[in-house]
Structure 1
Amino acid sequence: MLRMPPMLFHQMLHSRPLPSSVIPFNQMLTQLSKLKHYSAVISLNRQMLLRRIVPNHYTLNTIINCYCHLNQMGFSLSVLGKLFKLGLQPNVITFSTLINGFVLHNQVPEAALIFTKMLEAGHCKPSVFTFSTLIKGFCKMGNNYLGRWKKEDASLT
């Protein structure tokens, strides 16, 4: 089942001229991600980069999500750095994906730090998903940590 999408992806990569937009590639990466083929998505993205296909927000958010699911949070943060390098600003999806990744792997203090950075940046607001993900993480950690986090970050709210 996994053979067909990568074959189609390779056909797109080797077609001349290349597709004029990153959107068809994003659609393929998204479908593979939904099938939980995270390593394949990352591999195909590397091939895109080798062909000088410039990623956009959507591409990078998908790659961040894949690294999060593979518990490679350091790599997900490096993709965030690439986002900045390309002159893009992280959006609520970027921040929420990172927060979810940290919570998924029981790294709630790191998730809270990303949330704090999101608030400090000021160019996007947390969504219901962002808040519910943090609450889920705090419940995993216990109320003690939640109380401490709220107290430390009270000046941001």
Structure 2
Amino acid sequence: MFLQSHLGRPDNPPNFVNTKINHLALWILIVVYFLIGWGWYAVFGEKWLNLHARTMTDIEHTHNVGAYVLAFLASIAVNYTLAVLIARTNPTSVWCGLKVALACWFAFIFMEYATISVFSAFETNPWPLICIDMGRPLLGMAISGLVFGAWRKSA
């Protein structure tokens, strides 16, 4: 009964594929989310390296095309998922989109990161490092949530 009332009746099943989303907003936010990473680590990169006891020369070999392709694919996945989830809630204001985005960040990113950190036998991350690592997706998802909440697809 619970699933029927929340997921649709047998004669009227939910249609997740045809959820109306604003594709212009989606692709703008995919690029913005991707660029936030560059800006974030331009500002916090030196501190992040220091907290890892590394220098820029230590990580230069990791800057290959594959890393940027993966980051862009992650941006697509995060923003497409947020767009669909927020559209399915039929937001009435910008704050509805923000709430969904922050709930997703907390449940799926922060809690997983915290669990991995707690159970890790080989690393203990100081709070400034956790804030740097978690701040980037928090900012990106918050911006996406605000925009998806405000810039909806017309019916």
Greater relative CO (CA pairs within 8 A, separation 6+): 2
Q: TM-score w.r.t. structure 2 length?
A: 0.26
Larger Rg: 2
